[in-house]
Amino acid sequence: ALSMLGSPHITLLDEPSTGMDPKAKQHIWKAIRAAFKSKKRAAILTTHYMEEAEAVCDRVAILVSGKLRCIGTVQHLKTKFGKGYFLEMKLKEVPDLQMKEQLQRAVLHIFPNGRPQESFSSILSYKIPKEDVHSLALSFSRLEEAKHAFNIEEYSFSQATLEQVFVELAKEQEEEDSFGTLNSMLWWERTQGERVVF
């Protein structure tokens, strides 16, 4: 709060809502948005809490292993780096095995490359790759048909979260780091094999 007194042009905020309860977080986020509504002021906010970044920031930069991996609006990052969608369905009653299999066939008919995720009681979930969603309108139309056919109480069909984008970028970085280490080891072994000893 003190950093915003005097209306500085640039303010650095380091995890401003850490340790706060959910209601207090909402209040601080609202205050931050209000303080920086003007185009004459800016803030750089660091956080590990993706919900905070989505709630407060116009643009987000993601650092992985100390390297800038991407920067853009939340929607831009989700669209560019998100690996697809997440479908979650809540059935009106706990399904038996036969009903579960029929519903899975119906989901895979709509989204052929969908992958079942963990399911709990009457809640079933699937990861849906981008390439299976040609039209959101058509996807929702087919999901509505399935909702009525399988006694689904409700469903949600959402884009990858910012958290999932971060995890995907971290995985990519880890793979790149492993590949770089592997390349270095192979180069070292190759040069050792070519060494001539007198």
8 Å CB contact between 143 and 157: yes
Nearest partner of 108 among 93, 92, 87, judged by Cα: 87
Indicate whether 65 belongs to any domain: no
Indicate whether 12 belongs to any domain: yes
Indicate whether 75 belongs to any domain: no
Query: Does residue 15 or residue 82 have the better pLDDT?
Result: 15
Nearest-angstrom CA–CA distance, 48 and 93: 37
* pLDDT grade for 195, boundaries at 50, 70 and 90: very low
* pLDDT grade for 197, boundaries at 50, 70 and 90: very low
pLDDT higher than threshold 70 for residue 188: no
- Report the pLDDT averaged over residues 99-125: 90
Q: What is the pLDDT of residue 3?
A: 65
Can you point out the beta strands (E) in the chain? 10-14, 42-46, 60-64, 67-72, 84-91, 115-116, 123-129, 152-159
Backbone angles phi, psi at 155, to 5 degrees: -145, 160
DSSP 49-103: -HHHHHHH-SSEEEEETTEEEEEE-HHHHHHHH--EEEEEEEESSPPPHHHHHHH
Q: Let me know whether 92 and 155 are in one domain.
A: yes
Nearest-angstrom CA–CA distance, 128 and 110: 10
Query: Does residue 95 or residue 159 have the better pLDDT?
Result: 159
Query: Does residue 112 or residue 181 have the better pLDDT?
Result: 112
Residue 108 tokens read as 């895979």
Number of domains in the chain: 2
Q: The domain containing residue 19 runs over which residues?
A: 2-58
Nearest-angstrom CA–CA distance, 120 and 91: 11
Q: Let me know whether 42 and 92 are in one domain.
A: no
Query: Does residue 34 or residue 188 have the better pLDDT?
Result: 34
pLDDT higher than threshold 90 for residue 106: yes
Return the CATH number at 125.
3.30.70.2470
Name the residue type at position 161. T
- Report the pLDDT averaged over residues 16-38: 90
Q: Let me know whether 89 and 54 are in one domain.
A: no
Q: Let me know whether 88 and 155 are in one domain.
A: yes
pLDDT higher than threshold 80 for residue 100: yes
Last residue of a domain, one of 20, 40, 58: 58
pLDDT digits (tens, 9 = 90+) for 114-164: 999 888 888 999 999 989 998 999 999 999 999 999 889 999 999 888 888
Q: What is the pLDDT of residue 179?
A: 66
Nearest partner of 114 among 139, 96, 80, judged by Cα: 139
In this predicted structure, which of 30-44, 53-67, 166-180 has the lowest mean pLDDT? 166-180
- Report the pLDDT averaged over residues 27-47: 87
Return the CATH number at 28.
3.40.50.300
- Report the pLDDT averaged over residues 30-55: 87
